[in-house]
Amino acid sequence: MFAVTLDLRIFANNAELQKKGKGQPGDMLEKAAEQLMSCFRVCASDNRAGIDDSKKWGMLFLINQLFKIYFKINKLHLCKPLIRAIDSSNLKNDYSMAQRVTYKYYVGRKAMFDSDFKPAEEYLSFSFQHCHRSSQKNKRMILIYLLPVKMLLGHMPTHQLLRKYDLMQFADVTKAVSEGNLLLLNEALAKHETFFIRCGIFLILEKLKIITYRNLFKKVYQLLRTHQLPLDAFLVSLRMMQLEDVDLDEVQCILANLIYMGHIKGYISHQHQKLVVSKQNPFPPLSSVS
């Protein structure tokens, strides 16, 4: 009980600090972060107290607050030691769910920015699934980051989900990607560019282009019904998407990337200018790739 009250007080103090710091520009935030860090160090270095009343129970709360600040001031590299501290903590699964959800949300975001999409999906999924059902706002925030990651990994959101969380910006994107409609994708990205950039997911969504290429070429393959595909056919398909400045070399380049990443099983014969795809499962499902 003693420890609980103590922790509560620490929390309150820190919460105040954060409130103070958050309202103000970078400098104040950094100062608040400094204060929080000193609190965190105290908590983290509390090795004497028993597990029940250890100050370590305050770590995650503090870390989450620090995350908020660091994400705001764009200093993600400062998060690393905090994540390490939690990873090495034997309490990491015993913190309150609310704290863990928050923590995973930020760690997932960080992983996403670091292009570690698999772990990012893991963290964000956990966060989304365990987020309290009444916190629609939080769930939406999680989805903003979870969706691109999921899509990149081949899981397309349903229209229903997007509508529920008022994320219709993704609707066109989703449709374009799944149809291989590069034109629509470009339009959708351009249309909501501001929103996506503000969320920091524009670059992630841009990578969906690769998936879109894959889906587009898959359609070409399905139309031609052959495992020896002339490169001209792909060029035509790209031209159809109003990409006027593409040439055969670029087609080869795009195909090379898809093959390299495992989205297409096959090879290009430079001599014959043909893409030779595997007779079995030339376009493996996205979820099995990478």
Binding residues for other proteins (CB under 8 A): 31, 74, 76, 113-115, 197-198, 200, 202-203, 206-207, 209-210, 249-250, 252-257, 259-260, 267-271, 276
Treating both helix axes as pointing N-terminal to C-terminal, what angle do 79-87 and 59-72 enclose, rounded to 10 degrees? 160
* 11 versus 202: smaller Cβ distance to other proteins: 202
Amino acid occupying residue 221: Y
Which of 90, 271 has the CB closer to other proteins?
271
Q: Do the Cβ atoms of 60 and 34 come closer than 8 Å? A: no
What residue ranges in the chain does DSSP mark as E strands? Answer: 228-230, 266-269, 274-277
Q: How far is the CB of 265 from other proteins (least distance, A)?
A: 11
Q: From the CB of 214, what's the least distance to other proteins, in Å?
A: 12
Instruction: Give 164 or 198: the residue with its C-beta nearer to other proteins.
Output: 198
- Considering the complex, state which of residue 44 and residue 251 has its C-beta at the smaller distance from other proteins: 251
Count of residues for the chain?
290
Q: 289 near 261, Cβ under 8 Å?
A: yes
Type of residue at 70: Y
CB neighbours of residue 259 within 10 Å: 16
Closer of 131 and 144 to other proteins (Cβ): 144
Q: Pairing state of beta strands 266-269 and 274-277?
A: antiparallel
Minimum CB–partner distance for residue 149 and other proteins (Å) = 14
User: Nearest distance from residue 56's CB to other proteins, in Å?
Assistant: 28
Closest distance of CB 281 from other proteins, Å: 18
Least gap, CB of 4 to other proteins (angstroms) = 29
Token duo for residue 160: 């229903």
Structure token digits, residue 43? 């908590």
200: phi then psi, degrees, rounded to nearest 5 = 75, 20
Choice between 99 and 186, CB closer to other proteins: 186
